[in-house]
Amino acid sequence: MLRLRDIAERLECRLEGDGEIDIRGVAGIEQARAGDLTFFVNPKYAVQLRQTQASAVILGERAEPAPCAMLRAANPYLAFARAVELFSPRPALAQGVHRLADVAASASIAPDASIGPFVSIGDGVRIGSRTRVYPHVTIGEGAIVGDDCVLHARVSLREGVTLGHRVVVQDGAVIGSDGFGFAQRADGTHHKIPQIGGVVVEDDVEIGANTTIDRPAVGETRIGAGTKIDNLVQIAHGVKIGRDTLLAAQVGIAGSTTLEDRVTLAGQVGVAGHLTLGKGVIATAQTGIPNSVEAGSFVSGYPAIPNRDWLKSSAVFRKLPELRRSVSDLDRRLAALEVRLRQSE
């Protein structure tokens, strides 16, 4: 439990109201009760703000007043995210290597790292300070894991993969799996191309549950610093992703494609291979991208077109049956008029 005044100081918010209130946790604006801290960002929840039973609310500098104590913030959503951190400390995991872990003699593990039971760590692996490795994680030969990383249960980190500092990998993700590469023989069968390249994940990246990031035959697959990847994302061999990129669930990126910095791909976006998506590109859900996209573009649909054009086209799609009937009626009337004209000649 924390006093509201202390929370305001730690979040660098401007306090309006009683700073001596005790806050026991955080909650959504509709679920919050006495003792809870909530937040308000979206204007469509204005009614819920006026009716909230929370003891305090984080909101914008110019937002309408709430019926409780307020923490004014320039970025209320970010302030709320930091507040959640205050009330959700990391679960305890003892430092050192659990007796049921299998660690190669040549592996180097920082003394303050935490290695859980049933973890397998291969030859030449290096694991940095304060890194936490949960049960059933497999780390292949020669892999490098930086400081303050978190590898959740059943993560597979294949041989030679490099993770920077403060990387979080959620349950079941596979980093460094073989890229999908085959050469066709004369008889139509396929010969596997050895995938011996590397995967590099830079600092402050988060990788979602059951996401897969493939290694290439040559060169590397690289994920830029600060990038956040959702669950069930497929990143193919040789892909290069820039800094601070956001990839939502079920995005698929084919081989040798480059995403420059701060690209945002919404859920189920598909990107073809050997393309470049320029800095700041945004693609809405289920967009299919078969061609390169210029920096700053906002695209939708398949094949991807500017979002504004797609919205106009979507409005037309709903009217297609009606338009078809109108065109058919006009064709019949025109045919009848032509018949009458011929008869009158």
Q: Which of 248, 213, 214 is nearest to 228 (CA)?
A: 248
What's CA 224's distance to the chain center, in Å? 13
- 237 as an active site residue: the answer is yes
137 phi/psi in degrees, rounded to 5: -80, 140
Instruction: Pick the catalytic residue from 152, 190, 191, 237.
Output: 237
Report the chain's C-alpha Rg in angstroms. Answer: 27
Question: 69-73 and 14-16: which strand pairing?
Answer: antiparallel
Token code pair at residue 216 = 């290439």
Q: 104: which residues sit within 8 A by CB, 6+ positions away?
A: 121, 122, 123, 124, 125, 141
Other CB atoms within 10 Å distance of the CB of residue 303: 11
Residue carrying the six token digits 């859920």? 267
Q: How far apart are CA 181 and CA 102, in angstroms?
A: 32
List, by residue number, the catalytic residues.
237
